[in-house]
């Protein structure tokens, strides 16, 4: 097994010159590695990134990937957006080269406990709530991974933390073999990223790797209301550690209070981690959506386990308003409310969004086609969606699956889609952007998509 902390004078290739590639390259050079950066984009296309590492002692392989260079490396480090299944990496492995991901590599250098948060949806919100509670408790923490900064950025900064909060995507987990978190949060599990994975089973297997090195010192916080997560918990690897379940179903209170975890009863959150039960009031939660209670429960369990105060937990429960692009209220125009849920990039997230509304929803969906099945939305669409507006690469697929269950329009541009949503709305309606697809057919990120939606809505008179 490759010792990631022994890289002085080793030949290391970094694949991808985005923010992650820049950060890990800086760290590698600081540790004396001989670094080559490879990217399929040409030098002119990477002007900004090259400026970020100007003067760094590295070699470049730009405008494509040179197989001979790959075979000459000791270690190849991939950015999360690069699939490890590409043939050129098989070629490198066949010649004895170790191929890993930036997250796995950087985690090996951490000397403080790691709280690792994964799942299909809710990861970023849980991370933000955890960070807020630690801040309120005066516990120095650092938040990164798939949310915010790549883990390598922590390694190159001077200020250190007592605990790392890391959002971990399936892309980052694919190559994890040595990752050893102190705490694991698994929010939920639903179909996603089927443009990268051959099947749902492959996606689940990637997620499962977060439990690979579970031991008696690991505590996992698992969603008891998600059958797929509960099924994962039966894995012997998971059972090696301590498990806390969290649930919004009062009927599960006896079981959860017996083994430890968090349960919602009316507007009271009850948490048991030892002999005593701790109580929290959730009647003043500001963030929209019942699923936010699940996020709060997971975050409360993690932070209390790591020394946070009850007062800090309660304060954050009362003040957390959710993250941008997650059921974010935009404005009210002519009696119509507009909500930006651009982060809803899969079917499960759209379902959670629609659960927040009773009826009269004008729903904007569409984006990059990632081979998802939208049929699970048909009952919600039939009951709640007044008008369905489809745009982007995935619009035909979405139309085939759920277009018959409401008034449906297939639109050519994003601007037209937003305009028509307003034209079709009446007083009391809600316009919801919940795309159910990634943004990469038109936009650079879900943030860009959400910000543009808000910009367009704010122009309405």
Evaluate if residue 148 carries a pLDDT over 90: no
pLDDT score recorded for residue 149: 95
Are the C-beta atoms of residues 73 and 12 closer than 8 Å to each other?
yes
pLDDT score recorded for residue 134: 98
Are the C-beta atoms of residues 383 and 359 closer than 8 Å to each other?
yes
pLDDT tens digits, one per residue of 218-229: 999 999 999 999
pLDDT score recorded for residue 437: 97
The arithmetic mean of pLDDT across residues 120-127, rounded, is: 97
For 99-115, what is the HEC assignment? EEEHHHHHHCCCCCCEE
Are the C-beta atoms of residues 441 and 397 closer than 8 Å to each other?
no
Of the candidates 422, 375, 423, 420, which has an alpha carbon nearest to the alpha carbon of residue 397?
A: 375
Of the candidates 394, 352, 393, which has an alpha carbon nearest to the alpha carbon of residue 373?
A: 394
Could you give the domains of the chain? 11-101 (3.40.50.720), 110-319 (3.40.1190.10), 328-457 (3.90.190.20)
Residue 194's pLDDT band (cuts 50, 70, 90): confident
Q: What does the block give as tokens for 397?
A: 């697929």
pLDDT tens digits, one per residue of 326-379: 999 999 999 999 999 999 999 999 999 999 999 999 999 999 999 999 999 999
Q: What does the block give as tokens for 436?
A: 């159910």
pLDDT score recorded for residue 290: 85
Residue 3: how many other CB atoms lie within 10 Å: 10
What global pTM score does this model have? 0.95
Q: How far apart are CA 107 and CA 118, in angstroms?
A: 15
Please give the share of the chain, as a percent, with pLDDT higher than 70: 100
Q: Region of 260 please: left (phi>0), alpha (psi -120 to 50) or beta.
A: left
Longest dimension (CA), the chain: 67
Are the C-beta atoms of residues 341 and 410 closer than 8 Å to each other?
no
Residue 461's pLDDT band (cuts 50, 70, 90): confident
pLDDT score recorded for residue 161: 98
Q: How far apart are CA 209 and CA 97, in angstroms?
A: 22
Alpha carbon of residue 226 to chain centroid: 17
pLDDT tens digits, one per residue of 43-59: 999 999 999 999 999 99
DSSP states along 57-79 = -EEEEESS--HHHHHT-SEEEE-
Edge-to-edge strand list for the sheet holding 34-39:
58-62, 34-39, 11-15, 75-78, 98-101
């Amino acid at each position: 097994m490759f010792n990631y902390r022994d890289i002085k004078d080793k030949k290391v290739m970094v694949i991808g010159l985005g923010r992650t590639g820049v950060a890990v390259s800086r760290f590698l050079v600081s540790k004396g590695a001989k670094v080559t950066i490879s990217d399929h984009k040409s030098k002119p296309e990477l002007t900004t990134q090259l400026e970020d590492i100007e003067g760094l002692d590295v070699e470049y392989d730009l405008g494509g990937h040179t197989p001979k260079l790959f075979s000459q490396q000791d270690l190849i480090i991939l950015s999360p957006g690069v699939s490890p299944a590409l043939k050129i990496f098989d070629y490198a492995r066949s010649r004895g080269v170790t191929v890993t991901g930036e997250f796995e590599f950087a985690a090996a250098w951490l000397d403080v406990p790691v709280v690792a948060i994964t799942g299909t949806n809710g990861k970023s919100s849980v991370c933000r709530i955890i960070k807020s509670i630690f801040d309120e408790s005066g516990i120095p923490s650092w938040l990164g991974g798939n949310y915010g900064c790549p883990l390598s950025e922590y390694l190159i900064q001077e200020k250190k933390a007592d605990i790392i909060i890391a959002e971990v995507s399936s892309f980052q987990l694919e190559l994890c073999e040595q990752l050893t978190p102190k705490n694991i949060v698994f929010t939920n599990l639903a179909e996603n990223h089927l443009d990268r994975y051959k099947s749902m089973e492959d996606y689940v297997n990637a997620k499962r790797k977060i439990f690979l090195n579970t031991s008696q010192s690991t505590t996992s916080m698992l969603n008891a209301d998600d059958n797929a997560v509960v099924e994962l918990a039966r894995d012997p690897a998971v059972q090696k550690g301590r498990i806390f379940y969290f649930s919004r179903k009062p009927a599960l209170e006896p079981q959860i209070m017996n083994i430890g975890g968090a349960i919602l009863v009316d507007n009271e959150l009850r948490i048991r981690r030892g002999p005593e039960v701790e109580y929290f009031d959730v009647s003043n939660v500001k963030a929209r959506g019942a699923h936010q209670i699940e996020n709060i429960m997971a975050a409360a369990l993690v932070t209390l386990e790591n020394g946070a105060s009850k007062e800090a937990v309660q304060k954050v429960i009362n003040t957390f308003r959710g993250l941008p692009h997650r059921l974010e209220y935009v404005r009210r125009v002519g009696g119509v409310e507009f909500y930006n849920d651009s982060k809803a990039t899969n079917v499960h997230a759209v379902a959670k969004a629609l659960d927040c509304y009773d009826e009269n929803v004008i729903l904007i969906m569409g984006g990059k086609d990632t081979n998802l099945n939208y049929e699970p939305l048909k009952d919600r669409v039939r009951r709640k969606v007044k008008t369905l507006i489809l745009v982007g690469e995935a619009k035909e697929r979405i139309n085939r699956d759920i277009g018959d269950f409401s008034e449906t329009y297939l639109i050519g541009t994003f601007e037209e889609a937003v305009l028509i949503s307003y034209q079709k709305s009446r007083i009391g309606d809600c316009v919801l952007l919940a795309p159910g697809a990634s943004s990469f057919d038109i936009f650079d990120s879900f943030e860009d998509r959400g910000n543009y939606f808000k910009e367009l809505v704010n122009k309405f008179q």
